[in-house]
Amino acid sequence: MLIFAGLGNPGTQYARNRHNVGFMAVDAIAERFGFSPERSRFQALTREGFIEGGGGRHKVLIIKPQTFMNESGRSVGKAMRFFKLTETDVVVFYDEIDLAPGKLRVKTGGGTAGHNGIRSVKAHIGEDFRRVRIGVGHPGQKSRVQGHVLSDFSKAEHEQWLDDLIDAIDRSASHLADGEDPAFMSEVARLAPAPELPKADEQESDD
């Protein structure tokens, strides 16, 4: 069994925020693969289902913590322990300001790069979980980061790259379930190429 955890903040006022792109990604996967209706457990909203991949049929629990971003790890940890899983069975989807808008990277382990949701998950389950980093870009100044991630995606962003990227993520999710992270990244990039932006905006970090 795998856990696909999307990070975000609960409530309709946050639903379209950049900080909630993890919720958007796992919702799309649940819809694509016909997961069960949403239910409340583990201080989260969850859905269960199966993802068919080349490596077999994988049972997946999708989880959206309802504890607010800074305490996301509580929900993920509860679910992981309940199903007797380890952190290597967990995949976390979240917004990454150190990637240009529309870019996506997957990595295992590492630091938190200042992301409070990832910091919380790491504190509750350890660091060896897989991370799907969804680029939302950096506003340019540290003082503007909070306002940037807690603001809604614009209509132009939806049209230029966001909707295509979310669609590519759910269409390629079988590679993630199979543990084929490079294949997942390649397929997403093929289906939803990141928009061309000035080089200064294309900041990437492996922290």
- Could you tell me the two tokens for 26? 């796992």
Of 19, 58, 115, 175, which residue is the catalytic one?
A: 19
To which residue do tokens 């200042």 refer? 114
Amino acid identity at 1: M
Tell me whether residue 19 is one of the annotated catalytic residues.
yes
Cα gap 72→66, rounded to integer Å:
8
Among 161, 204, 51, 79, CA closest to 92: 79
H-only helix segments in 134-180 = 145-149, 155-157, 163-171, 173-177
Question: Is residue 138 classed exposed, middle or buried when 0-12, 13-18 and 19+ CB atoms within 10 A define those classes?
Answer: buried
Cα gap 70→73, rounded to integer Å:
8
Cα gap 66→126, rounded to integer Å:
20
Between CA 172 and CA 146, with CA 87 as vertex, the angle to 5 degrees is: 75
Q: Give the residue numbers annotated as catalytic, written as ranges.
A: 19
